[in-house]
Every structure is written in structure tokens, then in C-alpha cells.
């Protein structure tokens, strides 16, 4: 299956072999093939300079593709100016007009589209109510908090009922609690209204909690495109495993691949079995990936068939709902385990020597 395909619904946005270079030499986006379904919430996630914002700006019309074609609802849009694409946009800096009231800010995109006064007022009222800002129509942006301004920016993007909304780091300036509330509200609104949403962020938690699918970018290429749970549980390469969530890695060399398992000799001599994801032959170097919550340390909790390795406790951190313990395992001094704060979980002490273990299917042999 082509991972660029959308989720069994009609394609609404299509990037067809799209490339972008600013200097004619270096490609910021390399041969991008991506299909986004109608009504899908897709997040482009990646570090700074990975190409995600450039893709969003090409879709918006603020940047032009050097090569390839972008289609919107089956129509090529490369040569259509931004204001004729009918796309709603929300930016991190809100981009509200300071000299206009909230209602006037929302009315502006409708005026540009020649919507009549009565219909304009009705649409503005409905959009403000959608974001729980109904009573703020007469205020100016400077009289609002950051969270309120962001709601107004969201309402302005939705007021003319676009089929596609683009969001570029829209919650970056908000505090953690407000940010989490807005994540939920944006997702709910997008799904309730059936709007196709393309969202850009470098925040993994935001991507995992909001999206139908996430495209992980690095170096101008989509490294993996998948629903959030698959991205976290089944990373396809070392970059995705390290970038999404917390991850433990152990370096080693493949000894054998048989019966759906790779036998790996770790650099300290220990032998373990894991799923062969990015390895194909004996002698190949590999980086073995295990999520911290898949590792157990109480003998009674280890399932039959679990690998066990000796470990030394280096640091124990109480984090309220979980304990986070840093260990030395197979030469790695940043090996993390996360355990629930529960009556049957004891606190480990620095210097303590324990055994840790996990099931072979919970670790993945990835590229070195």
C-alpha cells in the first residue's frame, strides 16, 4: 500500500511529485507525494528546517513549487493566487487587524467575497459562537487575552465556511493548560464541521492527540505517514522512533534473521531477539528501539519469553502519576523505564542493581 494515500475517502488535497528549492540547488522539499482525504485532520510534524512549513505555504499559495503539481479537489492550483484558493488560515501570531473590532475582523473575509450585509452578520455571529466568543464582537484584539485572540483567529478562518483550513503552529504562544484545551476544541470543530485540516507543528504531543494521520518530516522527506498510534508503536526508522515520544536505543550487530525475528548481539556482548524492521542480513549494524513503558523490572511482572538484562539504577524521578527511572543497561546510561505510581510498584534507589526485561515483539531492529 502506498503510504501517501488518504484514508479510504476521496482525495481532496494531492501533492504530486512536488519539489521546492529557494536557490536552484538545495531541495527543501524532495519529491513529495501525499494525498489528504476530504474531512481528514492531517498534521505535518518535524524539526525546524524539515520542510513542513514550506509544504503548507505552497498549499496556501504563498510559495510556488519548483517542480510537480498541487491539486485541490481535483483541480491544479499551482497558478491560482492565494486569495482565490478559498482556504482558511490560522497562524501562530494570530494576524488580526488591530484597528478593527473582533466582528469587523471576521467580517473582512466575507466582504472580500462580496457577501451581503445581513448574511455577513449572521455568519460572524455563528462563527463567534462556535468558538465561545459570542459576547466579544465589539472588542478590539488588544483588549483580549492570547487565548481569546487565538479563538478569534480560528473563527475568522472558519467564517466563510472553507473546505480546507491550514494551521501553522497556531498554539505555540499559549500556556500549557490553554494549549491543551484549544487542541481539543480545534479537533472537535474540524470534525463537527467536516473541514479538511492541515496542521503544522514541531510538538509531538500535539500531533499525536489531534490528528487522524501524522506525516513526520525530516530533511525535506516524509519519513513516515501513519495514524498516531501506529507512528508511536511501530516506527519505521530510527529518526521516527527518536522523534516521536521517548525511546530507548541499544546499538548492536545482526547475527541472524529467522522466523520473523532478528537475533542481535549488542555491543556489550548480550544477545537479544527483536522484530526486524530496517535490517535484512547478518553482519548489519542496527539500533534496537524499545519504548520505556514496555520495559518491566519486577521479576513477577515479566512474561514468559521476556529478555532480561542486568541494569544499574542511576536516577529515580517521581512525576506524580508515573515514576521515571534512568538506568545503565548494556552500556547505555540513558536507558529509561516508566512505571505507574501504584501500590505494588516500589521506588528504586540509585546504585541498586536490578534486572529489566521486555518481550521480543516490543523491540524493533531499526537502521543504525
Q: What is the pLDDT of residues 24-44, one digit of tens each?
A: 889 999 999 999 999 999 999
Q: Is 155 found in the same domain as 16? A: yes
- 57's grid cell: 505555504
Q: Is 255 found in the same domain as 213? A: no
Q: What is the pLDDT of residues 254-305, one digit of tens each?
A: 999 999 999 999 999 999 999 999 899 999 999 999 999 999 887 667 777 7
Residues 39, 36: Cα–Cα separation, whole Å: 9
Residues 66, 93: Cα–Cα separation, whole Å: 28
Tell me the average pLDDT across 153-174: 87
Place of cell 491539486: 71
Q: What angle do CA 90, 92, 95 make, to 5 degrees?
A: 65
- 12's grid cell: 481532496
Q: What is the pLDDT of residue 2?
A: 47
Q: Is 216 found in the same domain as 199? A: yes
Confidence of residue 351 (pLDDT cuts 50, 70, 90): very high
Residues 42, 210: Cα–Cα separation, whole Å: 9
Asked whether the predicted pLDDT for residue 237 surpasses 80, the reply is yes
Confidence of residue 368 (pLDDT cuts 50, 70, 90): confident
How many domains, in total, are found in the chain?
2
Question: In terms of C-beta density within 10 A (0-12 exposed, 13-18 middle, 19 or more buried), how is residue 340 classed?
Answer: exposed
User: Is residue 282 within 8 Å of 256, Cβ to Cβ?
Assistant: yes
Q: Does residue 346 belong to any structural domain of this protein? A: yes
Question: In terms of C-beta density within 10 A (0-12 exposed, 13-18 middle, 19 or more buried), how is residue 32 classed?
Answer: buried
Confidence of residue 131 (pLDDT cuts 50, 70, 90): confident
Q: What is the pLDDT of residue 8?
A: 64
Q: Indicate the average pLDDT of the chain.
A: 90
Q: Name the phi and psi angles at 332, rounded to 5.
A: -95, 120
Q: Is 60 found in the same domain as 175? A: yes
Confidence (pTM): 0.88
What is the percent of the chain where pLDDT is above 70?
Answer: 97
Q: What is the pLDDT of residue 102?
A: 92
Q: What is the pLDDT of residue 4?
A: 60
Confidence of residue 133 (pLDDT cuts 50, 70, 90): confident
Q: What is the pLDDT of residue 7?
A: 59
User: Left, alpha or beta for 94 (phi > 0: left; psi -120 to 50: alpha)?
Assistant: left
For 49, other C-beta atoms within 10 Å of its C-beta total 13
Q: What is the pLDDT of residue 158?
A: 87
Q: Is 297 found in the same domain as 193? A: no
- Domain CATH number, residue 285: 2.40.50.140
Q: Does residue 1 belong to any structural domain of this protein? A: no
Q: Is 125 found in the same domain as 232? A: yes
Residues 284, 252: Cα–Cα separation, whole Å: 9
- Domain CATH number, residue 18: 3.40.50.300
Domain containing 344 equals 247-367
Q: Is 318 found in the same domain as 256? A: yes
Residues 332, 315: Cα–Cα separation, whole Å: 14
Q: What is the pLDDT of residue 1?
A: 38
Q: Is 181 found in the same domain as 292? A: no
**Among the three residues 238, 264, 287, which one is the final residue of a domain in this structure?**
238
**Among the three residues 188, 208, 238, which one is the final residue of a domain in this structure?**
238
Amino acid at each position: 500500500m502506498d503510504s501517501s494515500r488518504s484514508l479510504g475517502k476521496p482525495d481532496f488535497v494531492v501533492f504530486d511529485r512536488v519539489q521546492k528549492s529557494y536557490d536552484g540547488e538545495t531541495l527543501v522539499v524532495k519529491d513529495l507525494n501525499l494525498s489528504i482525504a476530504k474531512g481528514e485532520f492531517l498534521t505535518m510534524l518535524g524539526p525546524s528546517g524539515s520542510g513542513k512549513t514550506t509544504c503548507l505555504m505552497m498549499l496556501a499559495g504563498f510559495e510556488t513549487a519548483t517542480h510537480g503539481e498541487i491539486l485541490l479537489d481535483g483541480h491544479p492550483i499551482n497558478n491560482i493566487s492565494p486569495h482565490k484558493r478559498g482556504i482558511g488560515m490560522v497562524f501562530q501570531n494570530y494576524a488580526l487587524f488591530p484597528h478593527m473590532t473582533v466582528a469587523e475582523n471576521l467580517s473582512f473575509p466575507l466582504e472580500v467575497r462580496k457577501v451581503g450585509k445581513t448574511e455577513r452578520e449572521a455568519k460572524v455571529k455563528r462563527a463567534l459562537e462556535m468558538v465561545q466568543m459570542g459576547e466579544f464582537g465589539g472588542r478590539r484584539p488588544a483588549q483580549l487575552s492570547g487565548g481569546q485572540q487565538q479563538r478569534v483567529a480560528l473563527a475568522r478562518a472558519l467564517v466563510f465556511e472553507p473546505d480546507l483550513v491550514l494551521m501553522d503552529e497556531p498554539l505555540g504562544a499559549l500556556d500549557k493548560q490553554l494549549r491543551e484545551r484549544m487542541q481539543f476544541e480545534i479537533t472537535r470543530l474540524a470534525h463537527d464541521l467536516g473541514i479538511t485540516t492541515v496542521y503544522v507543528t514541531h510538538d509531538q504531543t500535539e500531533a499525536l492527540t489531534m490528528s487522524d494521520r501524522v506525516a513526520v518530516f525530516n530533511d525535506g522527506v516524509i519519513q513516515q505517514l501513519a495514524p498516531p498510534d501506529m507512528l508511536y508503536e511501530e516506527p519505521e526508522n530510527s529518526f521516527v522512533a527518536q522523534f516521536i515520544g521517548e525511546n530507548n536505543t541499544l546499538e548492536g550487530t545482526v547475527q541472524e534473521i529467522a522466523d520473523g525475528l532478528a537475533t542481535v548481539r549488542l555491543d556489550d556482548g548480550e544477545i537479544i531477539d527483536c522484530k526486524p524492521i530496517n535490517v535484512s542480513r547478518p553482519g548489519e549494524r542496527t539500533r534496537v528501539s524499545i519504548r520505556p513503558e514496555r520495559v518491566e523490572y519486577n521479576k513477577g511482572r515479566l512474561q514468559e519469553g521476556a529478555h532480561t538484562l542486568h541494569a544499574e539504577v542511576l536516577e529515580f524521578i517521581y512525576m506524580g502519576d508515573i515514576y521515571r527511572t534512568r538506568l545503565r543497561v548494556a552500556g547505555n546510561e540513558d536507558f529509561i523505564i516508566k512505571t505507574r505510581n501504584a501500590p505494588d510498584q516500589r521506588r528504586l534507589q540509585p546504585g541498586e542493581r536490578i534486572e529489566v526485561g521486555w518481550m521480543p515483539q516490543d523491540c524493533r531492529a531499526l537502521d543504525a
